[in-house]
Amino acid sequence: MRVLHVTESAQGGVGTYLAEILPSQERRYGASNVRALVPRQHAAHLSGVDRHMLATWDRQDRSALGLLRLTAAIRREIAAFAPTVVHAHSSIAGGVVRLMHGGRRPFRIVYCPHGWAFDRRSSAMKRRLVERIERRLASAADAIVVISDHERREGTRIGIEPARLALVLNGIADLPPAHSARWDDERIKMLFVGRMDEQKGFDTLLDAVEPLRDRVALRVVGKAVAGPAMLSRTVREQVEYLGWRSLAEVATEIAAADVVVIPSRWEGFGLVALEAMRGHCAVVASDVGGLREIVVEGVTGHLVPPDSPERLMRVLALHDRGGWQAMGRAGRTRYEATFTARRMNDELAALYDGLVPSPAHGRVGLGDPVHA
């Protein structure tokens, strides 16, 4: 088995995902048989990944020239590495790989959208166009990995063959108990981790915490990646901006927090919620996408409608520190039962094995249905 991962961006959730699966696949298949093609500028985001497993390309922007750079880099890497499986991550890399190699080829294509592009906030016309593209390109992948049941249902809704969709819930590896970052504040400590952009609903969170300035303190890990940072409001005294942090540093911030807040407007899954639960931290999240499958309302945290700063404000004011900590303990139990990296990696390996059987059992023909 020789697995080549391809991504157009390794920041945020995709980077976290690769950091979880690459070390496991290195142990399973050998370092020389696993490689990830990632933007040179994002390689440092893959904490714990041996740099010898990374091939890089110079990412500039998402223009036509940028797509041509990505296409050329994929073509070079496939020729040099000779993979048996090409695993493309997110819609841009997935679209390029499938358009390049939709016909007969000596390798299998696995595509993971990491949240359907048509599930994002946009005009109805644009969503229908993206749905049509995903439906047309679906048959060019031997399997499409969906990371939540919400994503699976949306795929079947637009007409993708159910047998081609393989549900592999996200998972993350456990970590030794992290020491707490220094955070001297008597107020309830709330943490936001992610891009400060429209999707992540950071503006909603700012509006929600403003009336609670005497009761809550907010730390923000991340920066704007797509679009403006939505910081047009006056900077609040209770908001502290930390910029991007490594996965290990995020764990120390979670250890210091009482609540992780995820006010996304749309979300394919929401890995930050798993990181919070792993770290014994309660989660308050938008009632959207895969987040509905992670947070158990009233047990591990709360779900709030997106774009509802007043509702979010009321929920953030519901509990004292002891109440939030009890939810954090329940979240840790749920993480251990459902969202471990070992379970996720075993399921991905089983999927690959089903696509590329041993020589004694022959090979599945191109175009044959994939069952997972």
The whole-number pLDDT of residue 372 equals 34
Q: In which band, very low, low, confident or very high, does the pLDDT at 209 lie, cut at 50, 70 and 90?
A: very high
The whole-number pLDDT of residue 236 equals 65
Q: Distance (Å, rounded) from C-alpha 25 to C-alpha 349?
A: 8
Mean pLDDT value of segment 212-219:
93
Higher per-residue confidence, 247 vs 280: 280
Q: Distance (Å, rounded) from C-alpha 138 to C-alpha 95?
A: 10
The whole-number pLDDT of residue 49 equals 84
Q: Distance (Å, rounded) from C-alpha 354 to C-alpha 371?
A: 8
> Helix-strand-coil percent breakdown of the chain, rounded to 5?
45, 20, 35
How high is the mean pLDDT of the chain?
A: 88
Long-range contacts of 242-247 (CB under 8 A, 24+ apart): 245/221, 246/47, 247/16, 247/19, 247/47, 247/48, 247/275
Q: Distance (Å, rounded) from C-alpha 101 to C-alpha 111?
A: 12
pLDDT at 191 over 70: yes
The torsion region of residue 230 among left (phi > 0), alpha (psi -120 to 50) and beta comes to: left
| 77 within 8 A of 37, measured Cβ to Cβ | yes
pLDDT at 366 over 70: no
Angle of helix 202-209 relative to helix 309-316, nearest 10 degrees, comes to 60
Minimum mean pLDDT range among 74-88, 194-208, 214-228: 214-228
pLDDT at 367 over 80: no
Q: Distance (Å, rounded) from C-alpha 162 to C-alpha 372?
A: 10
| 56 within 8 A of 43, measured Cβ to Cβ | yes
The whole-number pLDDT of residue 225 equals 59
pLDDT at 369 over 70: no
The whole-number pLDDT of residue 238 equals 79
The whole-number pLDDT of residue 360 equals 46
Minimum mean pLDDT range among 21-25, 78-82, 242-246: 242-246
Nearest CA among 191, 157, 14 for reference residue 91: 14
The whole-number pLDDT of residue 371 equals 33
Pairing between β-strand 108-112 and β-strand 143-146 as defined by DSSP bridges: parallel
Nearest CA among 29, 32, 5 for reference residue 18: 5
Higher per-residue confidence, 238 vs 194: 194
Q: In which band, very low, low, confident or very high, does the pLDDT at 208 lie, cut at 50, 70 and 90?
A: very high
| 163 within 8 A of 348, measured Cβ to Cβ | no
Mean pLDDT value of segment 220-249:
72
| 110 within 8 A of 85, measured Cβ to Cβ | yes
The whole-number pLDDT of residue 227 equals 53
Query: For 90-102, what is each residue's pLDDT tens digit?
Result: 999 999 999 998 7
Class of residue 27 by CB neighbours under 10 A (exposed 0-12, middle 13-18, buried 19+): exposed
Helix (H) or strand (E) holding 261: strand 259-262
